[in-house]
């Protein structure tokens, strides 16, 4: 499918579009969801989604009003999410374990009329409730309270028949909140037509067949598993395996052993944990047909280690909350070690300088602008950010890429993380990837510091892959490969070996903590 073939004009509903391909192929009795408490067929999921839609209608929920899900990944979450969209409401998943400040911000900014929470979260939510600034209805999953509305009560008198609301393809269908690592969380507003292309990578590149099983190690409040597991997997007629609780290597290994997934979607940090904990050594990992990585750059040594242990290549790609799906990918038919991938046929990517001048030459880093049907419409209530990121049909990703003469693209980091050294722009990602090419380096992170003369300097933090490594020797090895592969102005002023590079719960490096370490160890003026 080409870029031009993906736009539609007629009325539709994303809540129908996700299940209709499988149901129209007669897959009603096939398994759609396996969570840790039940197995649900496509027909059962369809009926339960209708029940949730009717139940929410009975609560007075109107089209384009928001429903916020603070739930564990489960068949109930998937059904309620579909049901909300089917009545024209806007579905939002969010991390119920987020800090209370961010949770309260998201509740108030979205003005969610309905909030779904788990029964074990009621007490914690009571601390937030007085600070919610608008009327809302609380629905408790797995609760038995007669005083509070539960999912059981919501569904008790709800029928399994529902005519989905006919929505414009350009109406809001769901929001996805960014992680908020650079400020307050912001909502990417996605439209009903966005789901139509969600399965193209799985269907056309990964050749996913009905009945295959998909395991995503990230939770459904992230765009990556929401799009490629929930939306795309179900549209392909595949079975989605869901975690209850936060994924760990041990629990991932247990699910791989029990359910034998055909596809594994994860992130480099988690692939590394599966290797270091010995989980990937299990024979069942060799039976996985396709391993996909996104979320951060995949280091070449990690690719090599995974291949050596499991016999599987990892197919790297990149997408964002705003794009919903991956737009540059490696595939079983076209892959290159170390490359982020090639642009998918249903997307167009252009590079510009920081000043907006077009870049057409190979091996020249630039800011990526993307055109693709699944790109979000805007940021909710962030007009300034929307104007900065969106220009007509083009979205400024904020990522720095280069491409080679064969059409392979390479991610160089974020434009807002670029450093200006000696009057020239330097990508921290390029330096980090160079350091990670050493087998003894597990993590690498660049931060900037100011010299006594007020000039910007590069400091590189590295985490050894094994304990007992000589820090002095590792520092020399890192400095040696950097000098060999990078221009002199890109080489760090100093390399610091630390036991562990600090990360968030989702595996993102916390560079602000490294910055704090620099400040704490800086000599007094």
Band of residue 6 on the pLDDT scale cut at 50, 70, 90? low
Q: Is the model's pLDDT at 44 over the cut of 70?
A: yes
CB 416 within 8 A of CB 409: no
Rounded to an integer, the average pLDDT of 434-439 is: 87
Give pLDDT, residue 3: 55
Question: Is there a contact between 288 and 261 (Cβ–Cβ < 8 Å)?
Answer: yes
Highest mean pLDDT among 74-83, 176-185, 406-415, 475-484: 74-83
At residue 521, the pLDDT reads: 73
Average pLDDT over residues 450-459: 71
Report which of 390, 392, 474, 472 is spatially closest to residue 439, judged by C-alpha positions: 474
Q: Indicate if the pLDDT at residue 410 is higher than 60.
A: yes
Task: Label residue 419 by pLDDT band (50, 70, 90).
Answer: confident
Name the pTM for this structure. 0.85
The confidence band for 463, taking pLDDT boundaries of 50, 70 and 90, is very high
CB under 8 Å, gap of 24 or more: what pairs does 481-489 form? 481/434, 481/435, 481/437, 481/438, 482/431, 482/434, 482/435, 485/434, 486/430, 486/431, 486/434, 489/421, 489/422, 489/424, 489/426
Q: What average pLDDT does the segment 377-388 reach?
A: 94
The closest of 72, 92, 97 to 81, measured between CA atoms, is: 92
Of all helices (H) and strands (E), which one includes residue 84?
helix 75-86
**Helix or strand or coil: residue 182?**
coil
Name the 3-class secondary structure at 136.
Answer: coil
Say whether pLDDT at 343 is over 80: yes
Separation CA 104–CA 127 (nearest Å): 10
Residue indicated by tokens 């040696």: 480
pLDDT value of residue 453:
57
Percentage of the chain exceeding pLDDT 90 = 71
The C-alpha torsion from 123 through 128 and 132 to 138, rounded to 10°, is -20
User: Mean pLDDT across the stretch 376-405?
Assistant: 94
**For the residues 61-73, what does the mean pLDDT come to?**
97
Q: How many CB atoms lie within 10 A of CB 391?
A: 11
| Position 420 pLDDT exceeds 90 | no
More confident position, 20 or 6: 20
210-416 — its CATH code? 3.40.50.12780
Q: What is the average per-residue pLDDT within 240-259?
A: 94
User: Which residues fall within 8 angstroms of residue 204, CB to CB, at 6 or more apart?
Assistant: 1
Say which CATH class 11-197 falls into. alpha beta
- The answer on pLDDT for 5 being more than 60 is no
User: Which backbone phi and psi does 23 adopt, to 5 degrees?
Assistant: -65, -40
Please name the residues in contact with 490: beta carbons below 8 A apart, sequence gap of 6 or more: 421, 426, 430, 431, 458, 482
Mean of pLDDT values over 495-518 = 83
Report the distance separating Cα 322 and Cα 366, nearest Å: 19
pLDDT value of residue 525: 47
Q: Residue 374: pLDDT band by 50, 70, 90 thresholds?
A: very high
Per cent of the chain over pLDDT 70 is 94
Dihedral of alpha carbons 48, 50, 53, 58, sign: negative
pLDDT digits (tens, 9 = 90+) for 261-320: 999 999 998 999 999 999 999 999 999 999 999 988 898 889 999 999 999 999 999 999
Confidence of residue 239 (pLDDT cuts 50, 70, 90): very high
Residue 179 has pLDDT above 80, yes or no: no
Q: Where do the CATH 3.30.300.30 domains begin and end in the chain?
A: 418-521
Both structure tokens of 10: 């007629």
Kindly report the average pLDDT of the chain as a whole number.
91
Phi (first) and psi of residue 441, to 5 degrees: -105, 120
* Distance separating alpha carbons of residues 373 and 12, to the nearest angstrom: 15
**Confidence at 181, pLDDT banded by 50, 70, 90:** very low
Higher confidence at residue 392 or residue 448? 392
Six-digit token string for 377 = 């419409």
Q: Which residue has the tokens 């392979």?
A: 408
Max CA separation in the chain (angstroms): 74
- Give the model's pLDDT for residue 436: 87
Residue 423: the pLDDT is 62
Block residue for tokens 């990526």: 368
The three-class DSSP label of residue 375 is: coil
Domain limits, CATH 3.40.50.980, in the chain: 11-197
Structure tokens at 408: 């392979």
Strands (E), 342-464: 342-343, 348-352, 358-359, 366-371, 378-379, 390-391, 394-403, 409-414, 419-421, 424-426, 441-450, 456-464
Q: In CATH, which superfamily holds the domain spanning 418-521?
A: ANL, C-terminal domain (3.30.300.30)
For residues 431 and 297, give the distance between their C-alpha atoms in angstroms, rounded to a whole number: 12
Specify the higher pLDDT residue, 328 or 10: 328
Other C-beta atoms within 10 Å of 452: how many? 7
CATH 3.40.50.12780 domain span(s) along the chain = 210-416
Token pair for 212: 């295959």
For 218-222, what is the mean pLDDT?
95
- Region 507-520: mean pLDDT is 82
């Amino acid at each position: 499918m080409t870029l031009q073939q993906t736009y539609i004009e007629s009325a539709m509903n994303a809540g129908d579009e996700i299940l209709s391909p499988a149901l129209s192929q007669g897959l009603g009795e096939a398994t759609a969801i396996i969570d840790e408490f039940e197995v649900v067929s496509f027909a059962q999921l369809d009926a339960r989604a209708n029940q949730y839609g009717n139940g929410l209608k009975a609560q007075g929920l109107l089209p384009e009003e928001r429903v916020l899900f603070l739930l564990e990944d489960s068949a109930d979450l998937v059904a309620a999410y579909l049901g909300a969209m089917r009545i024209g409401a806007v579905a939002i998943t969010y991390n119920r374990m987020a800090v209370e400040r961010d949770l309260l911000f998201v509740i108030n900014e979205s003005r969610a009329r309905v909030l779904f929470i788990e029964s074990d979260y009621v007490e914690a939510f009571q601390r937030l409730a007085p600070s919610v600034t608008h009327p809302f209805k609380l629905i408790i999953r797995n609760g038995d309270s007669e005083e509070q509305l539960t999912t059981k009560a919501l569904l008790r008198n709800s029928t399994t028949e529902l005519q989905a609301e006919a929505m414009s393809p350009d109406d809001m269908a769901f929001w996805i909140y960014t992680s908020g690592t650079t400020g307050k969380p912001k909502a990417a507003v996605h439209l009903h037509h966005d789901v139509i292309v969600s399965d193209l990578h799985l269907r056309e590149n990964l050749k996913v067949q009905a009945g295959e099983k998909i395991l995503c190690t990230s939770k459904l409040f992230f765009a990556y598993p929401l799009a490629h597991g929930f939306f795309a997997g179900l549209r392909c007629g595949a079975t989605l395996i869901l975690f209850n609780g936060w994924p760990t290597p041990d629990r991932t290994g247990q699910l791989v052993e029990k359910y034998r997934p055909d596809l594994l979607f994860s992130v480099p940090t988690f692939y590394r944990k599966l290797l270091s904990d010995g989980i990937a050594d299990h024979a069942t990992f060799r039976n996985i047909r396709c391993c996909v990585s996104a979320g951060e750059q995949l280091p070449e040594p990690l690719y090599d280690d995974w291949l050596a242990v499991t016999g599987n290549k990892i197919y790297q790609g990149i997408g964002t909350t705003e794009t919903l799906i991956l737009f540059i990918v490696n595939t079983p038919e076209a892959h290159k070690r170390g490359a982020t991938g090639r642009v998918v046929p249903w997307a167009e990517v252009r590079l510009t300088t920081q000043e907006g001048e077009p870049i057409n030459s190979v091996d020249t880093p630039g800011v990526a602008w993307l055109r693709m049907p699944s790109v979000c419409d805007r940021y909710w209530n962030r007009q300034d950010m929307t104007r900065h990121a969106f220009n007509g049909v083009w979205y400024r990703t904020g990522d720095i890429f280069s491409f080679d003469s064969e059409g392979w693209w390479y991610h160089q980091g974020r434009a807002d993380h670029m450093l200006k050294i000696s009057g020239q722009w330097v990508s921290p990602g390029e330096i980090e990837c160079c350091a990670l090419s050493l087998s003894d380096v597990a993590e690498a992170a660049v931060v900037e510091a100011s010299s006594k003369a007020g000039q910007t300097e590069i400091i590189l933090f590295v985490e050894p892959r094994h304990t007992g490594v000589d820090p002095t020797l590792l520092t020399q090895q890192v400095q040696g490969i950097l000098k060999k592969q990078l221009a002199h102005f890109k080489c760090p002023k100093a390399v610091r070996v630390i036991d562990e590079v600090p990360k968030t719960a989702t595996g993102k490096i916390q560079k602000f903590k490294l910055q704090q370490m620099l400040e704490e160890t800086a000599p007094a003026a």
